[in-house]
Amino acid sequence: MKRLFSIAVLLFLVQSAFSQTYNNTAPNGSTWYKLKTRGRHVVQINGSGDYAHLQVIAHIVSGSYNTAEYTILSEYNYNHKQIEFKWGYIGNQHDRYLAIKTEPTPNASYSRGFTITDISDPSKVFELELITDPGQVVEIGPHNMVYVKEHQRKVGIGTTDPQTRLHVSTGTNGDAVLKIEADTDNSNEGDNARIELVQDGGSLGAKIGMDQSWPSAVNAPDNLFRIVTRYANVDRTDAFVIDNSNGNIGIGTANPGQKLEVNGTIRSKEVKVEANNWPDYVFADDYQLTTLEETAQYIQQNRHLPEVPSAIEMEANGVELGEMNMLLLKKIEELTLHLIEQQELIKEQNERIEKLENQIK
């Protein structure tokens, strides 16, 4: 233990010996420095001021292939963010370098300066040059960074103020796209990309993503998009399924055979079914209306109406709402024609009866 402590003290002394401090010359501390040391480095930068301390671990690029970039890997900010680092670049595309400064936030009065230390080589000396004309600096916005708030355990991509554990932002322009990728060589269908939501000790949650076989879906088809719900430690693997090969959607079924297949009850305010060949042709003059005698004979032989599927067929294949509605309407229209015919016959019979009655009188 003493040996480990001695090594830690030695590393601290070495780092302190080679760290460089760059003081602010502005009254409130807002001095830009140009990083003239070329290359790519992972550095620790410490700033202080107004009873505050700011530490970041950053990957920086300066003057390498005429670029000037930075990526924040982690941040520790003490005392409610009284100071902050500002980043920019100076120079044209052929001679461009990273620029850095510390400055107080609106609720603070001053910042002192900063130290910069190479993580892999604390003995490295960075050459920084005071920028006398701040107008030459072009500030780099947060869209170029990954930002980690260690004390709050929040990660920001494209934002310096992440509001959640992971906050992705493109600012005022661009789509914020989160890409999750698996099996890039297409060699193992068991490698899948998904998101898992878990709470209550793992007994409740949901899984969203691609699937070969969820833990409790032993015979699940390959490469389905699923939303799997979990309740009381039991996964419902057929809660919502999309078959990527044909676009079929299943609710309550893991192998949908139609564009939308639901194993359960659907409740809706309204359902609109597209229909073609609506049976108004029944009222055409040349329509051959089946006689009641023919219909009676058909019913006697088959025990269901002509053209209407039998009970056995419906139980086996289900009912197609659009086609069934047209069939039922057709039968209603045919029945209406029979009623009109019967009404004319009744009227004719009544007239004959009335004549016979008048002759008897």
CA 101 to chain centroid: 37
> Regarding predicted confidence, which is higher, 4 or 158?
158
Structure tokens at 292: 């009641």
Residue 177 counted as domain residue: no
> In this structure, what token pair is assigned to residue 147?
């930002």
Average pLDDT of the chain to the nearest whole number: 82
Domain encompassing residue 240: 194-262
CB-CB neighbours of 97 under 10 Å:
23
Q: How confident is the model at residue 83 (pLDDT cuts 50, 70, 90)?
A: confident
pLDDT above 70 (res 88)? yes
Residue 135 lies in a domain: yes
Grade residue 176 by pLDDT with cuts at 50, 70 and 90. confident
198, 85: one domain: no
Same domain as 294, residue 232: no
**Would the pLDDT of 233 be above 90?**
yes
Is the pLDDT reported for residue 339 higher than 90? yes
Give the number of domains in the chain. 3
What's the mean pLDDT in 325-341?
Answer: 92
* Integer Cα distance of 350 and 345 in angstroms: 9
pLDDT tier for residue 114 given thresholds of 50, 70 and 90: confident
Could you tell me if residue 149 is inside a domain?
A: no
Same-domain check for residues 251 and 334: no
pLDDT at 27: 38
pLDDT in the model for residue 72: 77
Residues 43 and 127 both lie in one domain: yes
Domain closes at, from 140, 173, 206: 140
Q: Is the pLDDT of residue 18 over 60?
A: no
Please indicate, yes or no, whether residues 286 and 236 belong to a single structural domain of this protein. Answer: no
Final residue of a domain: which of 70, 105, 140?
140
Residues 45, 116, single domain; the answer is yes
What is residue 113's predicted lDDT score, i.e. its pLDDT?
79
Tell me, what's the pLDDT at 173?
A: 82
86 plus 199 within the same structural domain = no
304 and 355 in contact (C-beta within 8 Å)? no
Q: Residue 239: pLDDT above 90?
A: yes
- Note the pLDDT tens digit of each residue in 268-293: 999 888 888 889 999 999 999 999 99
* β-strand pairing of 166-168 with 154-157: parallel
Whether 304 maps to a domain, the answer reads yes
When pLDDT is cut at 50, 70 and 90, the band that residue 150 belongs to is low
Residue 214 lies in a domain: yes
Instruction: Give the pLDDT band (50/70/90) at residue 108.
Output: confident
Q: Which of 38-47, 100-109, 148-157, 188-197 has the highest mean pLDDT?
A: 38-47
Check whether residue 98 and residue 135 sit in a common domain.
yes
User: Which backbone phi and psi does 228 adopt, to 5 degrees?
Assistant: -105, 120
Is residue 209, in this structure, part of any structural domain at all?
Answer: yes
Q: Are 258 and 283 contained in the same domain?
A: no
Assess if residue 164 is contained within a domain.
Answer: no
pLDDT at 8: 37
Would you state the pLDDT for residue 47? 85
Whether residue 339 lies inside any domain: the answer is yes
**Predicted local distance difference test score (pLDDT) of residue 213:** 55
Shared domain check, 76 and 25: yes
Q: What is the pLDDT at residue 31?
A: 83
- DSSP 8-state symbol, 359: H
- Per cent of the chain over pLDDT 90 is 34
Domain end residue (candidates: 232, 262, 292): 262
Does the pTM exceed 0.85? no
Range in 150-164, 256-270, 300-314 the model is least confident about = 150-164
Collapsing DSSP to helix, strand or coil, 45 comes out as strand
Are 284 and 317 contained in the same domain?
A: yes
290 shares a domain with 247: no
Q: How much is the average pLDDT of 235-258?
A: 91
